[in-house]
Amino acid sequence: MARQGAKVSTAGRATGHSSAIPAWRRRIEERIAKARALIGRLICFRSGNNRPRIVRTVRMAFAGTNVSLSQPDITQKLTERIDDPKQRIAAWGKRIRRYTERSTRFNQNRLFQSDQKRLYESLERPMVSGTGPAPNQADTVAFWRGLWSEPVNHSEGPWTEVVASQCAGITPMDPVIITPDDVAEAVRRAPNWKKSGA
């Protein structure tokens, strides 16, 4: 039992709390899931699905309005009703995205101040974007070769000739030749973990 007045370490508690999903984000994700379920049922009803559960959901969606499911313009009313949760989902998604981007920037800035090497390693770590098999090299070459070989008629506007005439008098810059010695001199004072190939 800790002595009265003694400080209790909260390092582990803080770490666990920071990695947890915030309560407000969980609530928003639940709202998004419910809104998507509502959209799905409204679309089903608009497509002609008249199951009791679907009809009950549609009636609840129009509760408090003067909309009747038997009126002639019900399709238009359904489209308008579907658009509302879609806009809400977009707004909620933007809020989560802004929080994620801000949190990422904050964590990267803090890691840069404490451990630059670890930050660069995390940035250079390859991201896994898929678990399927890699595309066939021959198919990839054939795809891009066929795409690039297609004739394209570019729209050459008269402004391109004006720009070309204006740039005709510009003296081209001398070519810059970078030697291995130049590279070695540039990275000579850099830490090993910042050098290329490290």
Does position 16 have pLDDT exceeding 70, yes or no?
no
Is 63's pLDDT higher than 80? yes
With 80 as the cut, is the pLDDT of residue 13 above it?
A: no
Mean pLDDT of the 19-33 span? 89
Residues, the chain: 198
In eight-state DSSP terms, residue 187 is: S
Q: Mind giving me the DSSP string for 19-66?
A: HSPPHHHHHHHHHHHHHHHHHHHHHHHHTT---HHHHHHHHHHTTTSS
Residue 45 to residue 166: CA distance in whole angstroms: 63
Domain ranges of the chain: 18-124
Give the pLDDT band of residue 196 (cuts 50, 70, 90): low
Report, as an integer, the average pLDDT of 68-86. 89
**10 falls in which pLDDT band (50, 70, 90)?**
very low
The chain-wide mean pLDDT, for the chain, equals: 82
Cα 120 from Cα 193, distance rounded (Å): 9
pLDDT at 136 (0 to 100): 84
Q: Tell me, what's the pLDDT at 9? A: 45
Is pLDDT at 111 greater than 70 in this prediction?
yes
More confident residue, 143 or 7: 143
pLDDT value of position 92 = 94
